[in-house]
Homo-oligomer: A and B are copies of this chain.
Amino acid sequence: MSRVVALSGGIGGAKLALGLAQILPAEDLLVVANTGDDFEHLGLSISPDIDTLTYTLAGLDNQQLGWGRRDETWSFMQTLEALGGETWFRLGDRDLALHVERTQRLRAGETLTAVTARITAQLGVAPCILPMSDDAVRTRIRTDAGWLDFQHWFVREQCRPVVREIAFAGVEQARPNPALLAALRDRPRAVVICPSNPFISVEPILALPGVREAIAASGAPVVAVSPIIAGQAVKGPTASMFTQQGVAPSAAAVAQRYGALLTHFVMEAGDDATGIDARVVRAQTMMRTLADKVALAQAVLAAL
């Protein structure tokens, strides 16, 4: 059986990716990570979604915080604050090692793909976590106060400024990861769109030149899992992004956003499926435990 190609952002996507990793042989799973959230901060190259996926699949995610690494310490950040440095983006001492290692390897000319492969291997992550592109794509948010870099809006401003427009700077020139295109050509078993924010986690991947076409041409079923349950996002600004566009947040609204790309859509039992133009699959989409993640992954694959 050929591979499952999972498109993922951070937290929610990583949960399903972990579920898939539990039930698929490592070589049968390709997790494609959004890099639109990536940014340069304190001179470091930071890739939040890749890192969330890496820590989650390595069993190193910080479940108390909901982000970052477990067993984290904060001496760096405390000291940076005492030095008058920028502290709005919290970098733990252990997390920092990953950013420093990645940054210097990128500067030395390695691709983000190679660096990610090396780091995930060191941490014992078996499935491939693939950056959507080795070229820079930077999500930007237009607010009433002008354009903000994504992390400035997301973390520094805590998603408060109303979103007027979203752009993926550089996406027209960016080449999709060749390994993604190869996987799509290689008759994948399925393309799974993880329960990530469609606007800022999945659409940067889909906006890469040729990716939508390659998914369609793959002939594989395309199944999205709703990140919205009972009109609310499990985490993050997904629901408010719909609301700010004048669309009531709902699972159906997510399915409609993906449109004809989807063949299947996995959503919570009680939610309204009216207007969804894909085969609807009911499942428990809220993932609290590892068992929840595995069960959802099984439901996703069973639906196909």
Q: Which residues of A contact B (CB under 8 A)?
A: 42-44, 72-73, 75-80, 82-85, 92-94, 96-98, 100-101, 103-104, 107, 118-119, 122-123
A123 close to B83 (CB less than 8 A)? yes
Residues of chain B lying within 8 A (CB to CB) of residue A76 = 76, 93-94, 96-97, 100
Known: A76-B76, A93-B93, A96-B76. A123 touches B82 (CB 8 A): yes
Cα separation A76 to B122 with both chains bound (whole Å): 15
A79 close to B94 (CB less than 8 A)? yes
Residues of chain B lying within 8 A (CB to CB) of residue A101 = 42, 80, 83-85
Cα separation A288 to B123 with both chains bound (whole Å): 44
Residues of chain B lying within 8 A (CB to CB) of residue A100 = 42-44, 76, 80, 85
Residues of chain B lying within 8 A (CB to CB) of residue A77 = 97
Residues of chain B lying within 8 A (CB to CB) of residue A84 = 101, 118, 122
Cα separation A92 to B97 with both chains bound (whole Å): 11
Residues of chain B lying within 8 A (CB to CB) of residue A83 = 97-98, 101, 119, 122-123
Residues of chain B lying within 8 A (CB to CB) of residue A44 = 100
Residues of chain B lying within 8 A (CB to CB) of residue A122 = 82-84
**Minimum distance in angstroms from A204 CB to a CB of chain B:** 26
Residues of chain B lying within 8 A (CB to CB) of residue A93 = 73, 75-76, 79, 93, 96
Q: List 13 A-B contacts (CB under 8 A).
A: A42-B101, A43-B100, A43-B107, A73-B93, A75-B75, A76-B97, A77-B97, A79-B94, A79-B98, A80-B101, A83-B119, A84-B101, A84-B118
A80 close to B97 (CB less than 8 A)? yes
Closest to A96 in B: B76
Give 19 A-B pairs besides A77-B97, A83-B101, A96-B96 with Cβ atoms closer than 8 angstroms: A43-B100, A43-B104, A43-B107, A44-B100, A75-B75, A75-B94, A75-B97, A76-B76, A79-B93, A79-B98, A80-B97, A80-B100, A80-B101, A82-B97, A82-B122, A82-B123, A83-B122, A83-B123, A93-B96
The 7 closest A-B pairs by CB, nearest first: A75-B93, A79-B97, A43-B104, A80-B97, A93-B93, A79-B94, A73-B75
Residues of chain B lying within 8 A (CB to CB) of residue A119 = 83
Partner of A104, one of B42, B92, B107, B123: B42
